[in-house]
């Protein structure tokens, strides 16, 4: 497809701009890019301290809460920051859209690359902490889930980035939608809590955010949503992702000629 060709052709440019984007976010601070890693790390550690050592909350199957929590939260923060950041990227790079001939299609990907530095850091922290507790990840499944996560992010932000550019209010609405997804996705709560409501459980498991958070968590713990039920949730995930990409790509391609006029 045209988008994939454009992205491949400009992969070095996207990488360079993504790296510079991440550095420039903290250019005027003393600690620089350290702030980008410190803030989410402190956020995750605070949750761990509160639930692991103050409330003494056990994880599923007698696993330490930290082993259950950190992988799920790391994946959610990757997804949330990716969606919000990439959706607002075109407005952030408005000078490129308006003043020079630039491959607009890769701008959301630039934001995903910038946010990936923190995401990879959180993934590494989760791997190290879980390994310390004796829960070593399945490497192949880990690679698959991260690959699936970024395929989904590219697919969904093809649509959300176009809509956020044309309709500024959508950015605020998207923030609210992501907050709702946070609570409907089993990030800080366990799916076993609603096991008696089988229909609701199955619907929630079909949500791509749930699939990715659970699949990443399963890399460290028992259970595997990737192959569960003959891989039905994997099939549903990829059908949703591919459909969203095709639809979002159509919307983006149709709308990008108007970006310069609204910025």
Look at residue 3 and tell me if it is in a domain.
Answer: no
C-alpha span between 78 and 149 (Å, rounded): 9
Give the number of domains in the chain: 1
Taking CA atoms, 15 is separated from 95, 108, 245, in Å, by 19, 12, 21
| Total residues belonging to the chain | 263
Tell me, yes or no, whether 246 lies in a domain.
Answer: yes
pLDDT of the chain along its 263 residues, tens only?
688 888 889 899 899 999 888 888 776 766 667 777 888 888 888 877 877 777 666 777 678 888 888 899 999 999 999 999 999 999 988 887 876 678 888 999 999 999 999 999 999 999 998 898 889 999 999 999 999 999 999 999 999 999 999 998 999 999 999 999 999 999 988 888 887 888 998 999 999 999 999 999 999 987 788 888 778 999 999 999 999 999 999 999 888 888 877 76
Residue 94 burial (C-beta neighbours within 10 Å; 0-12, 13-18, 19+) = middle
Domain that holds residue 179: 8-262
| pTM exceeding the 0.95 threshold for the entire prediction | no
Asked, for residue 1, whether it belongs to a domain, the answer is no
Q: Tokens 């709560």 label which residue?
A: 189
The answer to the question of residue 2 being in a domain is no
């Amino acid at each position: 497809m045209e988008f994939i060709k454009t992205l491949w052709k400009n992969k070095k440019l996207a990488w360079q701009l993504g790296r510079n984007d991440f550095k420039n976010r903290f250019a005027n601070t003393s600690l620089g890019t350290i702030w980008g890693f410190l803030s989410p790390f402190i956020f995750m550690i605070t949750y761990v301290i509160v639930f692991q050592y103050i409330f003494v909350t056990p994880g599923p199957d007698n696993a330490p809460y930290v082993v259950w929590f950190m992988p799920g939260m790391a994946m959610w923060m990757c997804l949330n920051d990716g969606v919000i950041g990439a959706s607002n990227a075109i407005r952030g790079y408005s000078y490129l859209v308006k003043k020079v001939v630039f491959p607009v299609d890769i701008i959301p990907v630039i934001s995903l690359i910038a946010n990936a530095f923190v995401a990879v850091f959180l993934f590494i922290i989760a791997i190290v902490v879980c390994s310390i507790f004796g829960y070593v990840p399945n490497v192949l499944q880990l690679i698959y889930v991260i690959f699936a996560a970024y395929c989904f992010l590219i697919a969904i932000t093809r649509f959300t980035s176009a809509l956020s550019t044309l309709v500024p209010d959508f950015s605020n609405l998207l923030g609210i939608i992501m907050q709702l997804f946070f609570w409907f996705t089993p990030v800080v709560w366990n799916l076993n809590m609603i096991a008696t409501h089988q229909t609701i459980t199955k619907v929630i498991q079909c949500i791509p955010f749930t699939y990715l958070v659970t699949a990443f968590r399963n890399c460290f713990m028992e259970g595997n949503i990737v192959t569960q039920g003959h891989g039905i949730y994997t099939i549903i995930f990829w059908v949703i992702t591919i459909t969203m990409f095709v639809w979002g790509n159509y919307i983006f391609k149709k709308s990008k000629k108007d970006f310069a006029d609204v910025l």
